[in-house]
Chain A
Amino acid sequence: MTQWADDVFGVLVEVGVQQAAYVPDAGHTRLIWRCHAAKTIAAVPLTTEEEGIALLAGAWLGGQRGVLLMQSSGVGNCINMLSLARACEFPLLMLVTMRGQWCEFNPWQLPMGRNCRRILVAAGVACDTVAEPARVGAVVAKAARGVFERGGRRAVLLHQKLMTRKTFGR
């Protein structure tokens, strides 16, 4: 579960991302660690995901590109703040690790897991889903180039199959 994360990190560096905001998810562990270790990227831990939408708006105002990492439950925390990205036409790249999608142990993850895509689309964010590890880098690269070169808001939903199963010790 490290190769696809390393591929994504390579893409972020290549497209010139300089701010990586995140609320942690186990599935993003490797990528968060790589962002913190990178000299060219400011890794910004958040208290809630909506902070990241605002942070990246400020980054773009200042001439920098950014990415926002979260799990699917965090999407619900972003909804009103996505109006900022939409009203001002800020480019926005989100990488969302999915819960409540496949072999989910925790039923409380189901509401956001099952509705993540339609909620994002309703809030004006286009979505790509990727489930095969070998394709993750290419999907993120295409999404990132589209967002930063042509504008728009796009989330890549990283399928739960890409992540280690979380079983809470059971």
Chain B
Amino acid sequence: MAATRSDNYPLRRRDVAKMLVAGRGRLLVVAGLGAPAWDMTAAGDSDLNFPLWGAMGGAAMIGLGLALAQPKRRVLVVTGDGEMLMGLGALATIAVQRPRNLAVVVFDNEHYGETGMQLTHTAHDVDLEGVARAAGIRVAGTVRDRVGLGKALPVILKIPGPVFYDIKVRAETLDFVLPPKDGAVLKRRFRKALLGPSASR
């Protein structure tokens, strides 16, 4: 495989995942399919994680529905560049709703990691922060290094949103750290942990 610029990006996705959920408290997490789901699981599986095994293009919208339903809880969507590119309209839909408790973070390695490391549009300089800003998400940024990440973390986790961050991470193939793959199990455990034992379905 030909070398690409993201082979040398300083930030490593599993480190970023750990920093996002260190001391997560009441944080609710939706993780997009593929590597972001494995990353968030590697950082610590939780009943309050909803990792996806499909539904490509839907992660940010799941986050919006959850954020509207739970306005007092911070909702963090972590997804990949390929997944976000499939549902860019979601950024416009989120901007219209203006959920103060929603943050969408893209781990952007500029590749489709699960399908053979083909380049995504972001490798050709499609600017996801720019898309988010143009859609009307005012709190938005791109992170390329440790210093930038240090500044972005409190914004992602605390500042009134909606928040969008594109975090450039190294293109690397890592071991699989898989969450449960039965979607009904993932849904039930999430609802029980959030809503209590009466939420049986």
Which A positions have Cβ atoms within 8 angstroms of B?
18-19, 42, 44-48, 50-64, 66, 80-81, 83-84, 87-91, 151
B65 located at the interface, meaning its Cβ lies under 8 Å from any Cβ of chain A in the complex: yes
Partner of A87, one of B54, B68, B93, B97: B54
**A55 to B201, Cβ gap below 8 A?**
no
**B70 to A66, Cβ gap below 8 A?**
no
Contact with A along B189-201 (1 / 0, CB 8 A): 0110011000101
B89 located at the interface, meaning its Cβ lies under 8 Å from any Cβ of chain A in the complex: yes
Chain A's nearest CB lies how many Å from the CB of B84? 13
B187 located at the interface, meaning its Cβ lies under 8 Å from any Cβ of chain A in the complex: yes
Partner of A54, one of B65, B183, B195: B65
Residues of A with C-beta under 8 A to B87? 50-51, 54
**A47 to B65, Cβ gap below 8 A?**
no
**A88 to B186, Cβ gap below 8 A?**
yes
Q: A84-B55, A87-B54 are in contact. Are A51 and B66 (CB under 8 A)?
A: no
Among the 9-residue stretches B56-64, B105-113, B158-166, the one with 4 or more Cβ atoms under 8 Å from chain A is B56-64
**Most B Cβ at <10 Å: residue of A44, A45, A81, A88:** A88
**B195 to A47, Cβ gap below 8 A?**
no
Contact with A along B73-102 (1 / 0, CB 8 A): 000000000000001011011001100000
Partner of B62, one of A57, A87, A91, A151: A57
Q: How many residues of B sit at the interface, in one of the four size bands?
A: 35 or more
Residues of A with C-beta under 8 A to B70? 62-63
Chain B's nearest CB lies how many Å from the CB of A95? 17
**B58 to A61, Cβ gap below 8 A?**
no
Q: A87-B183, A89-B184 are in contact. Are A42 and B97 (CB under 8 A)?
A: yes
**B66 to A62, Cβ gap below 8 A?**
yes
Chain A's nearest CB lies how many Å from the CB of B65? 3
Residues of A with C-beta under 8 A to B66? 58-59, 61-62
**A56 to B65, Cβ gap below 8 A?**
yes
Partner of B97, one of A44, A63, A84, A90: A44
**B67 to A63, Cβ gap below 8 A?**
no
**Taking CB as reference atom, which chain B residue is nearest A21?**
B65
**B65 to A58, Cβ gap below 8 A?**
yes
Give Cα distance in the complex from A55 to B93, angstroms.
10
Q: A58-B66, A62-B69, A63-B191 are in contact. Are A47 and B54 (CB under 8 A)?
A: no
Residues of A with C-beta under 8 A to B53? 87
Q: A51-B61, A88-B186 are in contact. Are A45 and B96 (CB under 8 A)?
A: yes
Please name 11 pairs of A and B residues whose Cβ atoms are closer than 8 Å in the assembled complex, sorted by A. Answer: A50-B87, A51-B89, A54-B59, A54-B65, A58-B68, A61-B69, A61-B191, A62-B68, A63-B69, A88-B183, A151-B201
Give Cα distance in the complex from A77 to B27, angstroms.
31
**Taking CB as reference atom, which chain A residue is nearest B71?**
A62
**A62 to B194, Cβ gap below 8 A?**
yes
B11 located at the interface, meaning its Cβ lies under 8 Å from any Cβ of chain A in the complex: no
Partner of A81, one of B50, B57, B68: B57
Residues of A with C-beta under 8 A to B56? 80
Partner of A58, one of B30, B184, B195: B30
Residues of B with C-beta under 8 A to A57? 55, 58, 62, 65
Chain B's nearest CB lies how many Å from the CB of A29? 19
Partner of B69, one of A18, A84, A89: A18
Partner of B58, one of A19, A51, A62, A63: A51
